[in-house]
Amino acid sequence: MKSARIRSIASVLGSGKISSEEVASLTGSPADFRRERLGIDSIRVATESETPATMGVQAVEKLLQNNPLVSRDSINFLIFVTQNPDYLLPTTACLVQNKAKLPNNILAYDVNLGCSGYVLALAQAKALIASGMAKRGIIVTSDVYNRVIDRTNRNTFGLFGDAAAATLIEECDPEFGLGEFFYGSEGAGSDALIVRRGGSAHPQKNGSREDFLHMDGKAVYKFVITVLPPAINAFLDKQHITMANIDHWFFHQANKHMNGELCRILNIPTEKAFFDILDVGNTVSATIPIALERAQNNRIINGKRIVLCGFGVGLSWGGCSYNLQNETL
């Protein structure tokens, strides 16, 4: 049985940019606090003409340009992760398949999950490949949260950045690539991160505060530091892996304080946990692949085993191990 590996990652950022000073002028949230506490100096924002689909297509084109030996006809599936689809229907993955000129005999579908969506998509990609249903595919993570953020709300504005990332997945020998996975969902906490209107239950009311993202930061923080550490420890114990066996950690890039607390509780050395959102913000489903791409570009990834872990809206979480094969991803 084959496993699956990440061959390459390519990302694109929203064309607009908003500085901490601009956020401070609109919300009163101090710029210094944002840099020091949250690790964010500026965010990238999609322009009016940029959507999850258009940014996703750009990421796919960049990915294929970076891998000239990979033909479009060799792509067997496209998994599109977003919580801000271009339309309620059709599926955004189908729009991207067409615009990126991918074959029409591929499996193309959306995953409606935010900050843990990348890990879930990796699990699905591995399952498709391990089952023999596919040999190569692309995962696109693309969110434009600033479409549903109130620019006067200091709890949400200036935290999230708009971006897309395309990840090329292909088969590999079972002892390498994506390893074991763990997941979890706690729907009882769904009100902590929610856009209350816009779906079938509550249609959108233009101008209503409920059209925008509501975030209970304290509840999300409590969820992360309460649920994640025991889940991660149980995951490692099940595989008979110790913290010392992990060379690098790639958590969802939420904010500096939250990720720092996770590392403190888990006794993960700072140098082993990659964190870099200073100039982009929390890009939701794209944070982990962008972090991997940046770490690769900076020649940070080495060793034998890394762990990826996403957490957030849902509330949900998920993670996996990854075994390197003479590669830096």
Catalytic residues: 115, 252, 282
What count of other Cβ atoms lies within 10 Å of the Cβ of residue 181?
Answer: 17
- Whether the Cβ atoms of residue 307 and residue 322 lie closer than 8 Å to each other: yes
44 touches 16 (CB < 8 A)? yes
Residues 100-138 as b or e (16 or more Cβ within 10 Å = b):
bebeeebebebbebbbbbbbbbbbbbbebbbeeebbbbb
